[in-house]
């Protein structure tokens, strides 16, 4: 175990405890939450009289788009976990486990059946499903884990491999946030994120050290979207990176909730595989940006640029490309050798090539060199360069840099200079 310090729009009064439901739309300011979802967020719930509820929320705006009330389940629910869009596991106050098979949740909420799949033993105060085959429950501070092997499990044949992960999980709320990832809040106001790797092997990060004590229900469809109920209002949050154990990137929409009141369900559970976190594509390095700009110039000649020396514009070309990606060009002159002294002065002169480097040829000292071009690719002993004023144009060439046998007839390689950002 490792520890590290590392809840929308006011749409309507959701009278879920009443015999009828009235919807009143109130327009609010726009807010955005980026999460890759298969559709609207699906949240099942139960009322105090045991009736099933179903709510849809638009993930990017937090707008509630639908709320339905279904039949009574026939027992008093204690904990629930949504397995998929039409299957919900619910425990009773007597410790039995039921599978609720939803028939439709389109314009009405009906169930195909409520099946008891386990007699006794299910005394969890909270239960969640992570969307990846893992069912978690807490009781007396213990965190239990089961593996669910079927979309509609039938008891121990499909819910097994039970283990107790550890003790110390005294939590006010619990929600699944992804594969073996759970989030929870405490009565003391902390918001925690847990990564479960096995028995006694888990990591807890403190997302928020306070401010969450009023949240009495927490659920998540995955993808960094969290829905928390406070005083009957449903609030939504977006954790930009739900895997980093850092709560500083959680966006709050406190002034633009899903609903400001009306969420009176006794239990709430989102379909945990509804949304997914998609890591952003890594930003291009300076070298990659240089290569992209340089490659786009291949085939052009002096007249395509605002250069000053038609007979010797190789250094001007390097300066042009570097400047286009925001690299420092102070000290780079139309002299090819200035790239060598640039490297010396900035501590970026070295003997092996990297993409984006300036290659200086035939350096004779005193800031004098025969030629300079740019590395756009490196493959072992071979480099591909793009340079200006090569056969009076911008040209791409590949050669063995270790033998210094370049086809430019510009002399041996004197060094490689990386730009300074």
Per-residue model confidence as pLDDT tens for the chain (421 residues): 434 333 333 333 333 333 223 222 222 233 333 578 989 999 999 999 999 999 999 999 999 999 999 999 999 999 999 999 999 999 999 999 999 999 999 999 999 999 999 999 999 999 999 999 999 999 999 999 999 999 999 999 999 999 999 999 999 999 999 999 999 999 999 999 999 999 999 999 999 999 999 999 999 999 999 999 999 999 999 999 999 999 999 999 999 999 999 999 999 999 988 899 988 777 789 999 999 999 999 999 999 999 999 999 999 999 999 999 999 999 999 999 999 999 999 999 999 999 999 999 999 998 899 999 999 999 999 999 999 999 999 999 999 999 866 677 888 999 999 999 8
Domains of the chain: 2-276 (2.115.10.10), 286-417 (3.90.1720.10)
Pair 135, 122: CB distance under 8 Å: no
Q: Which of 315, 327, 317, 326 is nearest to 295 (CA)?
A: 317
State the Cα angle at 298 between 295 and 304, rounded to 5°: 120
Phi (first) and psi of residue 303, to 5 degrees:
-70, -10
Identify the DSSP state of 298.
Answer: T
Handedness of CA 39, 41, 44, 48 (dihedral sign): negative
| Encoded tokens for 84 | 């998929």
State the Cα angle at 89 between 130 and 232, rounded to 5°: 80
What is the per-residue pLDDT for 34?
A: 55
Phi (first) and psi of residue 359, to 5 degrees:
-100, 120
What is the per-residue pLDDT for 13?
A: 34
pTM, rounded to two decimals: 0.68
Q: Angle formed by the axes of helices 338-346 and 314-324, to 10°?
A: 40
What is the per-residue pLDDT for 408?
A: 76
Phi (first) and psi of residue 317, to 5 degrees:
-65, -45
| Encoded tokens for 250 | 């959680």
Pair 97, 117: CB distance under 8 Å: yes
Q: What are the percentages of helix, strand and coil residues in the chain, rounded to 5?
A: 10, 45, 50
- Find all residues with CB under 8 Å of 380, minimum gap 6, and list them: none
């Amino acid at each position: 175990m490792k520890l590290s310090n590392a809840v929308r729009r006011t749409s309507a009064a959701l009278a879920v405890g009443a015999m009828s439901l009235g919807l009143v739309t109130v327009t609010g300011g726009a807010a955005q939450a980026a999460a890759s979802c298969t559709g609207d967020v699906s949240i099942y719930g139960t009322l105090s009289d045991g009736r099933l509820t179903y709510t849809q929320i638009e993930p990017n705006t937090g707008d509630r788009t639908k709320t339905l009330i279904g039949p009574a389940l026939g027992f008093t629910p204690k904990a629930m976990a949504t397995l998929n869009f039409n299957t919900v596991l619910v425990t009773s106050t007597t410790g039995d486990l039921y599978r609720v098979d939803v028939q439709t949740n389109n314009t009405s909420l009906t169930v195909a059946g409520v099946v008891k799949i386990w007699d006794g033993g299910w005394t969890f105060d909270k239960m969640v499903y992570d969307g990846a085959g893992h069912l978690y429950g807490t009781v007396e501070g213990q965190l239990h884990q089961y593996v669910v092997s079927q979309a509609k499990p039938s008891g121990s044949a499909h819910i097994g491999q039970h283990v107790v992960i550890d003790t110390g999980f005294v939590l006010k709320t619990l929600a699944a946030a992804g594969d073996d990832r759970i989030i929870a809040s405490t009565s003391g106001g902390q918001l925690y994120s847990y990564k479960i790797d096995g028995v006694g092997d888990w990591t807890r990060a403190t997302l928020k050290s306070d401010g969450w004590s009023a949240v009495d229900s927490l659920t998540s469809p995955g993808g960094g979207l969290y829905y928390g109920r406070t005083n009957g209002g449903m609030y939504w949050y977006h954790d930009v990176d739900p895997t980093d154990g850092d709560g500083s990137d959680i966006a709050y929409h406190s002034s633009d909730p899903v609903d400001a009141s009306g969420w009176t369900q006794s239990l709430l559970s989102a379909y945990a595989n509804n949304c997914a976190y998609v890591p952003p594509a890594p930003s291009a390095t300076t070298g990659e940006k240089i290569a992209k700009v340089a490659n786009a110039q291949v085939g052009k000649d002096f007249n395509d640029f605002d250069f000053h020396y038609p007979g010797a514009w190789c250094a001007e070309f390097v300066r042009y490309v570097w400047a286009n990606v925001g690299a420092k060009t102070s000290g780079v002159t139309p002299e090819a050798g200035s790239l060598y002294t640039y490297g010396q002065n900035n501590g970026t002169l070295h003997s092996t090539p990297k993409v984006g480097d300036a290659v200086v040829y035939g350096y004779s000292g005193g800031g004098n060199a025969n030629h300079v071009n740019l590395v756009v690719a490196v493959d072992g002993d071979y480099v591909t360069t793009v340079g200006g004023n090569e056969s009076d144009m911008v040209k791409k060439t590949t050669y063995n840099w270790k033998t210094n046998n370049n086809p430019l007839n510009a002399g041996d390689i004197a060094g490689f200079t990386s730009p300074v950002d």
